[in-house]
A = this chain, B = another copy of it.
Amino acid sequence: MSLFVSLQLDRSQSTPLYQQLAGEIRNLINSGQLKEWEKLPPIRKLARELSVNNITVVHAYQELEQEGLLYSQVGRGTFVKARLHQPEPLLKSTPEGQDYYPPGLKVMDQGRLQIPMGAYNFASAIPTPELFPVADFKVILNEVLDRDGGKAFGYQEGQGYLPLRESLVEYLRENAIEAYENCIQIISGAQQGIDIIAKSLLKAGDFVITENPTYTGALAAFKSRGARIIPVPLEEDGVSISSLKKALAKYHPSLIYVIPNFQTPTGISYSEEKKLALLDLCQAYKVNIIEDDSFTDLSYDYPRQPIKVLDQYGQVIYIKSFSKILMPGLRLAFLSAPEKIIPGLLTAKHSSDISTPGLIQRTFDLYLRKGLWSKHLKYMRDSYQERYHTMLKAMEAHLPQEISYTKPGGGLSFWLRLPPGSSANYLYTRCLENQVIISPGSLFSASEERDSECFRLSFAGLYPDDIEKGILAINTAYQEQDSKPLYSPLL
């Protein structure tokens, strides 16, 4: 309360008292002294403390409510609102691993990271372009143009080109997932999938549970609907079930968002036990699960299964991205959802972009039907697996013992931990000076931590020859700590 007692109101001013009070509270909010969701003092109490009329406080709260800074709940009081319109950092790291915007870094060219020429970029998880099946795709594209002509350029159905949905049902069944054409929604990339789910199922103030750390593109979509994020910590075999239980019981969330295989950014895969425990808990609390799957196909030790395979209650909304294995720039993905929520998703899709480009849908459909997908998947898995092992060898050879990491066994990244109290933000800056880019863990925080002991190294964007050189450069940057220690005041 002392925060409020100290407020200065000056009766001699021409500005009405309630406007002065509103101004003072506005400053407390903007300066971060009053945090999102924090409760304000009851009207009478504050009026008494400031020796003003109740109506003065009422007017001040009203003004700030109209500005969208406060909200109130019957019988509960007045609270600081989440800042829906405060821009997120423009481009944070994504499972699709493209542009991001690390703390304190200059950006150029509309938010693209400033990568020094010839730097080793372990931040981007974008495959090197030569891996893309451009030649095959070009052939199919022309075949579609000759086959469909103008039809390929009219509006496609909002739910997606029907033959493609049929092909995807086949694809899912081959992956032990039961599905039907009318449960499938074609989306312009996984990010749009998360966005239309949020649009259709969330309202301001709803709670959403996510893993912590997680993919920040999902956090951005949920927050843009005014949802409140409840982060649940990850353990080596998946989300902490005890914490999840508590969170479900306390917040009764509207959604839970998980990446069960080769999680972003940690690379963790859930054990079968945890997958089942997660499903049972969410069934008990009647919560829909969003399963974001970019990497299940990219396992290098033993195969993983999406939790969708185990979804006997029809509570999992399964989002499948092809960006990492086919081509991210196509902006094509799909989701398979319980039939009852499809109409809402279709409405959200329609008000978002009406439909996904028909030419791309038709081309990908023919690509699947010609069996080119499985051929290309094998090629990509082999290519990535080579980089994965090159990376592992280089880290074992050149990184000091005290930097720890586990072997994810798949995906496109490693998650490393510095000694206690060390700052990955500092290491990031120091690496930059050594022409190498890493992703500091703070970029993936679901609880707004501003620094972390952890960092992510992605190898998708580096040729095998460059991986070892890059790891050596990271080690050089790390060793500089003898002169400048990496201790962080934030940790």
Interface residues of A (CB under 8 A from B): 43, 58-59, 61-62, 65, 68, 70, 72-76, 78, 84-85, 87-88, 90-91, 94, 96, 98-99, 109-112, 126, 128-132, 134, 137-138, 141-142, 145, 149-159, 162, 182, 188-189, 191-192, 195, 199-201, 203-204, 217, 220-221, 224, 226, 327-331, 343-344, 346-348, 350-360
Q: Kindly list chain B residues whose C-beta atoms are within 8 Å of the C-beta of A162.
A: 109-110
Contact between A132 and B150, CB atoms less than 8 A apart: yes
- In the bound complex, what is the Cα–Cα distance between A243 and B159 (angstroms)? 39
Task: Known pairs A74-B78, A141-B145; list 15 more (Cβ under 8 Å).
Answer: A43-B74, A61-B74, A62-B73, A62-B76, A68-B203, A96-B354, A110-B158, A129-B154, A134-B153, A153-B328, A204-B226, A217-B350, A220-B350, A224-B348, A331-B354
Contact between A330 and B359, CB atoms less than 8 A apart: yes
Q: Kindly list chain B residues whose C-beta atoms are within 8 Å of the C-beta of A150.
A: 128-132, 134, 327
Q: Kindly list chain B residues whose C-beta atoms are within 8 Å of the C-beta of A137.
A: 153
Q: Kindly list chain B residues whose C-beta atoms are within 8 Å of the C-beta of A96.
A: 155, 354
- In the bound complex, what is the Cα–Cα distance between A195 and B188 (angstroms)? 15
- In the bound complex, what is the Cα–Cα distance between A75 and B65 (angstroms)? 11
Contact of A346 among B90, B138, B153 (CB under 8 A): B90
Contact between A347 and B90, CB atoms less than 8 A apart: yes
CB closest chain-B residue, reference A199? B224
- In the bound complex, what is the Cα–Cα distance between A72 and B70 (angstroms)? 12
Q: Kindly list chain B residues whose C-beta atoms are within 8 Å of the C-beta of A330.
A: 153, 357, 359
Contact between A157 and B90, CB atoms less than 8 A apart: no
Q: Kindly list chain B residues whose C-beta atoms are within 8 Å of the C-beta of A204.
A: 203-204, 226
Q: Kindly list chain B residues whose C-beta atoms are within 8 Å of the C-beta of A138.
A: 142, 145
Contact between B111 and A129, CB atoms less than 8 A apart: no
- In the bound complex, what is the Cα–Cα distance between A325 and B65 (angstroms)? 45
CB closest chain-B residue, reference A112? B157
Q: A85-B344, A203-B84 are in contact. Are A328 and B154 (CB under 8 A)?
A: yes
- In the bound complex, what is the Cα–Cα distance between A357 and B188 (angstroms)? 9
Q: Kindly list chain B residues whose C-beta atoms are within 8 Å of the C-beta of A132.
A: 149-150, 153-154
Contact between B157 and A195, CB atoms less than 8 A apart: no
Name the 4 nearest CB pairs between A and B, nearest first.
A129-B150, A153-B327, A110-B159, A58-B75
Contact between B344 and A357, CB atoms less than 8 A apart: no
Q: Kindly list chain B residues whose C-beta atoms are within 8 Å of the C-beta of A350.
A: 88, 90-91, 191, 217, 220
Chain B nearest CB: distance from A270 CB in Å? 26
26 A–B contacts from the bound complex (CB under 8 Å):
A43-B74, A68-B203, A74-B78, A85-B201, A88-B350, A88-B351, A90-B350, A91-B350, A99-B155, A109-B162, A110-B182, A110-B346, A111-B157, A129-B153, A134-B149, A137-B153, A188-B357, A195-B352, A204-B204, A217-B350, A217-B354, A220-B350, A352-B353, A353-B353, A357-B357, A357-B360
Chain B nearest CB: distance from A327 CB in Å? 4
Contact between A331 and B357, CB atoms less than 8 A apart: yes
Contact between A352 and B153, CB atoms less than 8 A apart: no
Q: A88-B351, A153-B328 are in contact. Are A158 and B74 (CB under 8 A)?
A: no
- In the bound complex, what is the Cα–Cα distance between A220 and B347 (angstroms)? 9
- In the bound complex, what is the Cα–Cα distance between A142 and B129 (angstroms)? 17
Q: Kindly list chain B residues whose C-beta atoms are within 8 Å of the C-beta of A189.
A: 353-354
Contact between A111 and B329, CB atoms less than 8 A apart: no
Q: Kindly list chain B residues whose C-beta atoms are within 8 Å of the C-beta of A331.
A: 188, 353-357
Contact of A351 among B158, B217, B357 (CB under 8 A): B217
Contact between B354 and A94, CB atoms less than 8 A apart: yes
- In the bound complex, what is the Cα–Cα distance between A153 and B129 (angstroms)? 8
- In the bound complex, what is the Cα–Cα distance between A187 and B127 (angstroms)? 24
CB closest chain-B residue, reference A216? B351
- In the bound complex, what is the Cα–Cα distance between A43 and B76 (angstroms)? 14
Which of A75, A152, A224 gathers the greatest number of chain B CB atoms within 10 Å? A75
